[in-house]
C-alpha cells in the first residue's frame, strides 16, 4: 500500500498507509490522545476524525479542549437539530447554520408558522433519542447536480449548496432518514452531544438583508462536560438579567421599532433623563479641561469624505449620498472629524492657540446591516462623545497623558473598574489598507508607546487594529454577555491635516502642519448608556437615576398636602421626584417603587407631618429610617454630588 507522510506541529515527520484516518494517527501516538481527538486539520483544513486521508501534509490533531474542538461538537449538534426539526415538521426549510464561541444557531422557515419557543422541548426530545440511540452520522459526497436535486424546493439550501461546492462536489451528512447539507466538520456519532441546550428563537433576515425574507433563528449551545454547560447557562441567566434591552423595556427607558426604523432608538422620558445627565456631565467635564464645544451639521458635502478617505475606506458602512439635483451630493456623516476640521480651518490659527481642543456630542449615521443591529449597542443613528485636538508635534505626549488622565477620572465617577488598555498598530504585512507614510507610522506608534511607558500603565499591543490614518489607544471593557468592546479611544492622525491642508502660523511667522488627535471619552451615548444599564442592572446610582425619589402618602386625603409640600421642596432643589397618588395599598406602592429601582422611597403619615420628618427607605433595603426633611435633603444632595460613591 502506498505511503503518505505527515508533519506534526513539533516538526517531526511520520509515514502512514494511504487511507489512514486522523483517529488512527492519534492512536499511534497515545490512547489518551485518541480519546480526546475530535477532528484533524490537514494543511489548515479541518477534516472528520474518521475520514480516510489520501494525501499527506502538515497535520494537527484537534482535541475537545480547543476552540476548534468545541466548534466540531457544536456543528454536530447543529446537524442533529436540523434532523430533529425535519422529523417534526414536514414543510421546514433551512437557512444558514453557524457555530461560534457563544454557541450555535440554525435558521429555519416554515410555510404555515415559524417554530415557536414552546415547541423546542419536543425538538429536544427528538435530539435526546438520537443521542441515546447513538445514531451514526455518515458523510456523503454528492455532485453539485445531485446536491441541487437533494435540496430542490428549498431556495435557501440551494444557494448554500452553490456557495459550499468545491470542485463540483458538496458534503452532506446522513442522520437516519435525514440527508442534510454539511456546513462544517462533524463527529461520526451522536453520543457526544449529551450536554446541549436549545436556548431561544428570534427573527433573522436571510443573509442579514432587510429586503430578504424573515427567517426564524433557533439559538442553542453545547459542551463536552455537564459542568461547562451548567456554568454557561448560569452566565446566560445573569446576562439576561443584565440585558439592557430587557431592562430598558421594564424601566421604560427606550425602544426600537423596526416598523418605523430599524436601528433607530426612541428615548422615553426615563431614558432621556439618564442620557441628559450623562451629556451634561461630559460637557461640563470637557469645558473644565479646556475643550471648546461646538455644534455642526449631520449633513456634509460628499467631497469632504472623499478627501478624508472615509468614502474609500468605509463606503459600505455609509448611507447612500443624497443628490441635490444641482451637482451637489450630501452625505449623512459617519464621522465628525471633517466637521471639526472645518471649525479649525475657519480662521487663521496661531501657535499660541495650540493645543486647540474641539468637542461635540456629534450625531452620526452608519449603515449597519439589519442582522447586526442590537438594542442601543448596534444602531444606525448614534451620538458620539467626540473630541479633536490640533497640536504641535512636541505637544503630543503631554496631551496624550492629559486625555488619558481625563478618561480615568470619568471612569472613577461612573464606577467603571473592569477595563484594560490596548495599543493598536497597523499591520506591517498589510500596509495597503493604511495611510502610506512609513515615517509617520514609526514615529506616532513609538510616541504612544512611550507615553504609556512613562505613565507606567499595563497594556497589550495589537497589530492590525489601528485606524487607517494612524495608531490609537483603545480602552477595552466587557458587556454583560462577556463580549469585549471599545469604551474609549485616543487616535493620533498625521494624515487628515495633510489631506485638508491644515496649518498654523508658528512662532517664526511661517506656516506649519498641525497634528490631529481624535478622542472619545465614553464612546456613543447609545452604547455607553447600554453599558451603564447592564453594569448597574437598571439600579442606577442616585445621580444617574431617572427618578430619584418617590413620595408616598399613607393617605392621600389626609397627608397628600404634606406629601406635595415635601415633593415641591425636593423638586425646587433639582431632585427628580414625584408623588405617588394612586389609590392602591401602601405595600403595593412601596414594592412598585422598589421594582422600578428608585433610589429613595419616602413614606409620610401623621407623625411625619406633625414633626416635619420623612420615613426613608433606600432601594434594596428592608428597613426604613426616620429623618427630618432637612437631614434627608442633606443626605441625598451629598449622595448626588459625590456621584453616589461610598463614603
Q: Is the pLDDT of residue 480 over 70?
A: no
For the annotated binding site for Zn(2+), the residues are 337, 388, 518
Residues 58, 74 share a domain: no
Q: What is the pLDDT of residue 218?
A: 95
| DSSP 8-state assignment for residue 14 | E
Q: Are 392 and 492 found together in one domain?
A: yes
Report the pLDDT value the prediction gives residue 494, as an integer from 0 to 100.
86
Predicted confidence (pLDDT) per residue in 273-282, tens digit? 999 999 999 9
Return the H-helix or E-strand segment holding 306: helix 302-308
Mean pLDDT for the stretch of residues 63-83: 96
Q: Which residues are annotated as a binding site?
A: 337, 388, 518
Peptide bond into 139 cis (omega under 30): no
Give the whole-angstrom CA distance, residue 390 versus residue 253. Answer: 37
What are the residues whose beta carbons fall under 8 Å from the beta carbon of 262, sequence distance 6 or more? 210, 256, 370, 373, 380
Alpha carbons within 13 A on the beta-carbon side of 140: 18
Q: What is the DSSP string of 415-433?
A: T----EEEEEE--TT-GGG
Percent of the chain topping pLDDT 90: 75
Band (pLDDT 50/70/90 cuts) for residue 59 is: very high
611, 631: one domain: yes
**Dihedral sign, CA of 198, 200, 206, 212?**
positive
Q: Do the strands 600-604 and 549-553 form a parallel or antiparallel pair, or are they unpaired? A: parallel
Per DSSP, the three-state class of 18 is coil
Domain-embedded: residue 141:
yes
What percentage of the chain has pLDDT greater than the value 70? Answer: 98
Say what the pLDDT of residue 486 is: 87
Confidence of residue 87 (pLDDT cuts 50, 70, 90): very high
Q: How far apart are CA 348 and CA 205, in angstroms?
A: 51
Q: In the predicted model, is pLDDT for residue 438 greater than 80?
A: no
Report pLDDT for 431: 67
> Do 131 and 53 have their domain in common?
no
CATH number where 175 lies: 3.30.980.10
360 and 504, same domain (yes or no): yes
Residues 532, 553, single domain; the answer is: no
Average pLDDT over residues 464-479: 83
Query: Is a pLDDT exceeding 70 seen at residue 481?
Result: no
- The single residue listed with the C-alpha cell 486625555 is 403
pLDDT per residue as tens digits for the range 560-599: 999 999 999 999 999 999 999 998 999 999 999 999 999 9
End-to-end CA distance of the chain: 79
Tell me the per-residue pLDDT of 217-268, one tens digit each, with 9 for 90 and over. 999 999 999 999 999 999 888 888 889 999 999 999 999 998 888 899 999 9
Do 445 and 305 have their domain in common? yes
Contacts of 405 (CB under 8 A, 6+ apart): none
* Domain range enclosing 58: 3-63
CATH number at residue 46: 3.10.20.30
CB 160 within 8 A of CB 183: yes
Residue 213 per-residue DSSP state: P
Domain membership flag for residue 399: yes
Q: pLDDT class for 647, splitting at 50, 70, 90?
A: low
354 and 509 Cβ atoms separated by less than 8 Å? no
567 and 475 assigned to the same domain: no
CA distance 70 to 100: 9
Domain closes at, from 23, 43, 63: 63
In this structure, are 546 and 532 located in the same domain?
no
Is the pLDDT at 463 greater than 90, yes or no? no
| pLDDT digits 0-9 by tens, 303-331 | 999 999 889 888 888 999 999 988 899 99
Check if the beta carbon of residue 491 is closer than 8 Å to that of residue 517.
Answer: yes
Q: Using 50, 70 and 90 to split pLDDT, how confident is the model at 134? A: very high
C-alpha 320/C-alpha 327 separation (Å) is 15
Which three-class secondary structure string do you get for 313-381?
Answer: HHHHHCCCCEECCCCCEEEECCCCHHHHHHHHHCCCCEHHHCCEEEEEEEEEECCCCHHHCECCCECCE
Compute the average pLDDT of residues 424-436: 74
Reported confidence tier of residue 464, pLDDT bands at 50, 70, 90:
confident
User: What's the structural domain count of the chain?
Assistant: 4
Question: Residue 469, Cβ neighbours under 10 Å: how many?
Answer: 28
Distances (CA, A) of 317 to 334, 335, 376: 8, 11, 17
pLDDT, mean over the chain:
92
The pLDDT tens digits of the residues spanning 154-190 come to 999 999 999 999 989 999 999 999 999 999 999 999 9
The pLDDT assigned to 157 comes to 94
Residue 568 counted as domain residue: yes
> Residues of 264-292 as b/e, b for ≥16 C-beta within 10 angstroms?
ebebbebbebbbebbeebbbebbeebebe
Q: What is the DSSP string of 574-621?
A: T--EEE---SS-HHHHHHHHHHTT-SEEEEE-HHHHHHTEEEEEETT-
Amino acid at each position: 500500500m502506498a505511503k503518505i507522510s505527515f508533519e506534526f506541529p513539533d516538526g517531526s515527520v511520520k509515514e502512514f498507509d494511504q487511507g489512514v484516518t486522523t483517529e488512527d494517527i492519534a492512536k499511534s501516538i497515545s490512547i489518551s490522545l485518541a480519546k480526546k481527538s475530535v477532528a484533524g486539520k490537514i494543511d489548515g483544513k479541518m477534516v472528520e476524525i474518521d475520514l480516510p486521508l489520501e494525501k499527506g501534509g502538515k497535520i494537527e490533531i484537534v482535541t475537545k479542549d480547543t476552540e476548534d474542538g468545541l466548534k466540531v461538537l457544536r456543528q454536530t449538534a447543529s446537524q442533529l437539530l436540523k434532523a430533529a426539526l425535519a422529523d417534526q415538521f414536514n414543510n421546514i426549510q433551512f437557512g444558514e447554520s453557524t457555530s461560534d464561541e457563544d454557541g450555535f444557531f440554525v435558521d429555519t422557515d416554515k410555510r404555515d408558522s415559524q417554530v415557536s419557543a414552546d415547541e423546542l422541548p419536543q425538538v429536544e426530545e427528538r435530539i435526546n433519542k438520537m443521542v441515546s440511540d447513538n445514531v451514526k452520522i455518515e458523510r456523503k459526497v454528492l455532485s453539485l447536480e445531485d446536491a441541487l436535486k437533494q435540496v430542490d424546493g428549498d431556495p435557501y439550501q440551494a444557494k448554500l449548496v452553490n456557495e459550499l461546492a468545491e470542485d463540483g462536489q458538496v458534503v452532506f451528512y446522513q442522520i437516519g432518514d435525514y440527508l442534510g447539507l454539511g456546513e462544517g466538520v462533524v463527529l461520526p456519532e451522536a453520543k457526544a452531544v449529551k450536554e446541549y441546550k436549545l436556548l431561544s428563537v428570534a427573527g433573522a433576515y436571510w443573509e442579514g438583508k432587510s429586503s430578504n425574507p424573515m427567517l426564524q433563528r433557533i439559538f442553542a449551545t453545547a459542551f463536552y462536560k455537564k459542568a461547562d454547560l451548567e456554568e454557561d447557562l448560569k452566565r446566560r441567566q445573569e446576562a439576561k438579567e443584565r440585558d439592557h434591552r430587557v431592562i430598558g423595556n421594564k424601566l421604560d427607558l427606550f425602544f426600537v421599532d423596526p416598523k418605523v426604523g430599524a436601528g433607530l432608538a426612541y428615548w422615553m422620558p426615563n431614558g432621556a433623563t439618564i442620557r441628559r445627565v450623562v451629556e451634561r456631565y461630559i460637557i461640563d467635564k470637557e469645558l473644565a479641561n479646556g475643550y471648546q464645544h461646538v455644534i455642526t451639521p449631520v449633513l456634509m458635502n460628499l467631497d469632504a469624505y472623499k478627501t478624508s478617505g472615509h468614502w474609500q475606506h468605509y463606503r459600505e458602512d455609509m448611507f447612500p449620498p443624497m443628490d441635490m439635483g444641482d451637482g451637489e451630493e450630501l452625505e449623512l456623516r459617519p464621522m465628525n472629524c471633517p466637521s471639526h476640521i472645518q471649525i479649525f480651518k475657519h480662521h487663521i490659527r496661531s501657535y499660541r492657540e495650540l493645543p486647540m481642543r474641539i468637542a461635540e456630542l456629534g450625531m452620526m449615521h452608519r449603515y449597519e446591516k439589519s442582522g447586526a443591529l442590537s438594542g442601543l449597542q448596534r444602531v444606525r443613528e448614534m451620538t458620539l462623545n467626540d473630541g479633536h485636538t490640533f497640536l504641535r508635534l512636541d505637544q503630543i505626549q503631554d496631551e496624550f497623558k492629559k486625555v488619558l488622565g481625563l478618561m480615568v477620572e470619568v471612569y472613577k465617577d461612573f464606577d467603571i473598574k473592569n477595563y484594560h488598555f490596548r495599543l493598536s498598530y497597523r499591520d506591517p504585512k498589510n500596509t495597503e489598507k493604511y495611510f502610506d507614510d512609513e515615517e509617520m507610522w514609526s514615529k506616532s506608534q513609538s510616541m504612544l508607546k512611550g507615553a504609556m511607558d512613562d505613565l507606567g500603565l499595563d497594556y497589550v499591543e495589537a497589530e492590525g487594529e489601528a485606524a487607517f490614518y494612524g495608531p490609537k489607544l483603545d480602552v477595552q471593557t466587557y458587556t454583560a454577555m462577556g463580549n469585549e468592546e471599545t469604551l474609549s479611544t485616543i487616535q493620533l492622525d498625521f494624515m487628515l491635516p495633510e489631506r485638508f491642508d491644515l496649518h498654523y502660523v508658528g512662532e517664526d511667522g511661517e506656516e506649519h502642519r498641525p497634528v490631529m488627535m481624535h478622542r472619545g471619552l465614553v464612546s456613543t451615548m447609545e452604547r455607553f448608556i447600554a453599558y451603564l444599564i447592564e453594569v448597574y442592572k437598571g439600579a442606577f446610582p442616585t445621580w444617574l437615576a431617572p427618578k430619584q425619589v418617590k413620595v408616598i402618602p399613607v393617605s392621600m386625603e389626609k397627608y397628600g398636602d404634606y406629601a406635595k409640600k415635601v415633593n415641591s421642596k425636593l423638586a425646587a432643589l433639582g431632585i427628580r421626584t414625584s408623588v405617588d397618588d394612586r389609590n392602591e395599598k401602601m405595600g403595593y406602592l412601596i414594592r412598585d417603587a422598589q421594582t422600578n429601582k428608585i433610589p429613595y422611597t419616602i413614606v409620610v403619615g401623621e407623625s411625619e407631618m406633625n414633626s416635619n420628618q420623612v420615613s426613608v427607605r433606600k432601594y434594596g433595603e428592608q428597613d426604613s429610617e426616620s429623618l427630618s426633611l432637612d437631614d434627608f435633603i442633606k443626605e441625598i444632595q451629598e449622595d448626588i454630588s459625590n456621584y453616589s460613591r461610598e463614603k
